[in-house]
Amino acid sequence: MPNLKDIKRRIRSVKNTQQITKAMKLVAASKLRKAQQAILDARPYAVKMMDVLNHLAARCNGDLHPLLDVRDGNRHLFLIITADKGLCGGFNGSIIRKTAEYLKNNPQNENSLIIAGKKGNDIFRNRPVNIIEDHIGWTKDFNYLKAQTIGENLATLFSEKKVDKVFMIYNEFKSV
Which amino acids are annotated catalytic?
88
Alpha helices, H only, the chain? 4-59, 91-105, 118-124, 144-159
Residue 138 backbone phi and psi in degrees, to 5 = -70, -20
Question: How far apart are the C-alpha atoms of 150 and 79, rounded to whole Å?
Answer: 9
Maximum distance among all alpha carbons in the chain? 85
Which residues, 6+ apart, have CB-to-CB distance to 11 below 8 Å?
none
Half-sphere exposure of 143 (CA within 13 A, CB side): 2
Question: How far apart are the C-alpha atoms of 127 and 56, rounded to whole Å?
Answer: 38
DSSP state of 67: G
